Amino acid sequence: MTIREIITIPDPRLKIKAKKITSFDKDLHLLIDDMIETMREAPGVGLAAPQLGISQKIFVAEFGDETDEEVEPKVYIFVNPEITERSDDLMMGIEGCLSVPDYVGDVERHLAVTVKAQNKHGKNFKIKAEGWLARIFQHEIDHLHGVLFPDVAEKLYDITEMADEDLEDIV
């Protein structure tokens, strides 16, 4: 496994719509392993292939139980993901991104989503997510469409210009 370079704005590759994956081979499995290792090293809770300069529809995420810190976080692997259902209820929350360093922003997301995708072997699955997990999935799927959180944020904060006590109020 290899830690890969995460590209950042204004790299134009971040704005390209990713291509569907059709080959579920050892190269894809290696990419997935590298993405998980890179995400953890960064550290982050999600990473999409376009953030590595790879125009493919794949993202990984790692998230634990918000109410029980002793539960090990679960790793999610989504190949060719698509949101099939969205709740009517929306939730405002603060988001950051490994490809947009030094900024966070207020982003409104659906409270719940259903995502259909394929696993690393090409098998179809569907998952329903709520709360922060739904937010992570929506954020990463946006990457696959060339959308970054500042494109949809209601307000951005430059965290390099903020005092520590002000940061505590927003993150």
Q: Would you write out the chain's pLDDT as a tens digit for each of its 171 residues?
A: 799 999 999 999 999 999 999 999 999 999 999 999 999 999 999 999 999 999 999 999 999 865 666 778 899 999 999 999 999 999 999 999 999 999 999 999 999 999 999 999 999 999 999 999 999 999 999 999 999 999 999 999 998 887 655 555 544
Q: What is the pLDDT of residue 170?
A: 47
Q: What is the pLDDT of residue 82?
A: 98
Q: What domain count does the chain have?
A: 1
Enclosing domain of residue 161: 12-170
Residue 5 in any domain: the answer is no
Residue 3 in any domain: the answer is no
Residue 51 in any domain: the answer is yes
Residues carrying an active site annotation: 140
DSSP letter string, 63-115: E--TT-TTSPPEEEEEEEEEEEEE-S-EEEEEEE-TTSTTEEEEEEEESEEEE
Residue 1 in any domain: the answer is no
Supply the pTM of this predicted model: 0.91
Angle at CA of residue 50, ends 44 and 53, nearest 5°: 105
Q: What CATH number is associated with residue 114?
A: 3.90.45.10
Handedness of CA 161, 149, 24, 123 (dihedral sign): positive
